[in-house]
Structure 1
Amino acid sequence: MITYNTEGVCAKQITFSIDDNIVKKVVFHSGCDGNLQGISKLVEGMPVEEVIKRLSGIDCEGKGTSCPDQLAKALKMQLNNKV
């Protein structure tokens, strides 16, 4: 599992795993539990690039980011580290 400490959102941390460029498991720690469980289930099984494409730039209440956007940033960082 990979751990990402979020910035500017209710969820304090995101843990996730990637296997063969597919998002396998996502857990948001804190935040809006039902919504974040839903996001986790929706993105599991998707290619990393597709999750980044769909979730990047989503804003929550003018914060300039959101929990989904933070997941996209975490995945992007992981993708860049593997290149």
Structure 2
Amino acid sequence: MTYTYKTKGTCSTQIDLELEGNIVHNVKFTGGCNGNLQAIPKLVEGLTVEQVEEKIGGISCNGRPTSCGDQLAKACREAYEASKQA
């Protein structure tokens, strides 16, 4: 399942990802800090939604209550819940 998530409160504006069951694949960010947004997809490739949430959920950035990693954790959870409804 391919999913698009519009981010809130970050420099990146969108996250596209694929889920195979609860396994995360092919994460792509639109906008944001180039280095971080190349690294994060490589680090989460093949992890479960739960593992992504545990590792990067809740991270803040520059005093903001969220970060690109935190938004990815939210995107993965939202995508997973949507896949269960389909």
The answer on 1:54 being equivalent to 2:52 is no
Residue number in structure 1 paired with 2:71? 70
Aligned-residue CA RMSD (Å): 1.1
Supply the distance in 2 between the matched residues of 1:31 and 1:74 (Cα, whole angstroms): 16
**Superposition pairs for residues 1-83 of structure 1, below 5 Å?**
1-81=2-82, 82=84
Q: CA deviation digits over 1:22-69, x for unaligned, max 9?
A: 111100001011111100001011111100111110000111000000
Unaligned runs of 5+ in 1: none
Note if contact 2:26-2:41 (Cα within 8 Å) is conserved in structure 1. yes
TM-score w.r.t. length of structure 1: 0.93
* AA partner of residue 47 (structure 1): T
Moved segments of 4+, more than 4 Å? none
SS at match of 1:27: strand
SS at match of 1:36: helix
Supply the distance in 1 between the matched residues of 2:21 and 2:31 (Cα, whole angstroms): 28
Identity of aligned residues (%): 49
